[in-house]
Structure 1
Amino acid sequence: MKKHLSLGAAGAALALALIAGPADARKADGPPPDTICTILGTADRYVDTTVTVRAVASSAGKVASLSDSGCQGSIGLNMQDESDSDRKRDVLSFRRAMSSSGARAQATVFGRFHPTGNAQAPYVIDVYSVRDVADVQ
C-alpha cells in the first residue's frame, strides 16, 4: 500500500510539472512587445524607460525609424555609438541591413525611449537589441 501512495504522489508531481512547464516557458518569453500606436498614444508614460516594440523598420539614407500602418507617426532608431565594440552583434547586423536607403524589415526592438526635442521626429529609441527580423517586400 505504501508503494501505491508514493507512486501516486510521484504521478501527481509529474502531472503538475507537465502542466506548469508550458506556463513557465511562456513567462520566460516575457510580455508581448508594445505597438508603435500604444507608445505614441501614451508617450509620456514611456519617456526615459526601456521599451520592447515590434514594428516595421525602414530607412531613408542614414536615418532609420519604426512605424505602424495602424497609426500616424514613427519613432527614430539610434543605432550609432562612439564605440561600436560595445554594441551587440544583432544591433550591428541590423544597422548594416538598414543602411541602404529604402530598406524595410519587420523587427522587435528593445531600447531606451526618449524625446529628441525635434518637432519633425519627436521620439527616438536607443537600440539595445534587435530580434525576430524579417524582410518586408
Structure 2
Amino acid sequence: MNAVTFVRATGVALSLLLAAGTAAARSDDPPPDTICTVLGTAARYLDTTVTVRGVAATEGKVTTLTDTQCKGTVSLSMDDDLGRKRDVASFRRTVTEKGVRADATVFGRFKATGDAHAPYAIDVYSVRDVNELPAAEGG
C-alpha cells in the first residue's frame, strides 16, 4: 500500500509541475516588434494587432510613438472609450496632459491613415512597461 501511495503522490506532483510549466510558458509575452520592423513591412501588418516599443510624446494634439534607430514614427489613437482602461488612461495623462516623453510598449491595431505626413497609426488597446524619460534625453 505504501508503494501505491508513493506512485500516486509522484504522479500528482509531476502533473502539477507540468501544468505549472505550461501555464508559465503561456504567460510569457513575445517581445515587442520594433517600429522600424513594422514600418519596413507595413503591408504585412495593416489591420492586424501589433505590439511595439518606442518613445511616446505629444506635440499639439498628436501623440506619436517613435524609434530613433530608423527615425520611424507612428501616430497613436487613444479613443475615449478606451480611456476607461487604467493603463491607457494613465499613459494618456502622462504623455498628453503632463507633456512627458515615455518609453512604452503599445498594443493595438495598426492601420493606414491616408495622411501623407503621418501614413500609419495604431489604435491603442493597451499599454505596459511605461517609463517616463528625463527631459534631458532628446530634449
Give the Cα–Cα distance (whole angstroms) in 2 for the partners of residues 74 and 105 of structure 1: 14
* 1:97 CA drift (Å): 1.1
Q: What stretches of structure 1 move > 4 A for 4+ residues in a row?
A: none
Mapped to 1, the partners of 2:98 and 2:27 lie a distance apart of: 36
Shift of 1:48: 0.8
Matched letter for residue 59 of structure 1: T
Root-mean-square deviation (Å): 2.3
1:58 lines up with 2:57 in the alignment:
yes
User: How far does the alpha carbon of each residue in 1:103-122 deviate from its partner, in whole angstroms, 9 at most, with x for none?
Assistant: 21111111111011112211
Q: Give the stretch that moved more between structures: 124-133 or 101-110.
A: 101-110
Structure 1: unaligned runs, 5 residues or longer: none
List per-residue Cα deviations over 1:77-101 (Å, max 9, x = no partner). 01144xx476423212211211158
TM-score by length of 2: 0.81
Q: What TM-score do the two structures reach when normalised by structure 1? A: 0.82
Work out the percentage of aligned pairs sharing the same amino acid.
54
Aligned partners of 1:85, 1:134: CA distance in 2, in Å? Answer: 20
Q: Among 121, 127, 130, which residue is 1:130 paired with?
A: 127
In structure 2, list runs of 5 or more residues that go unmatched: 135-139
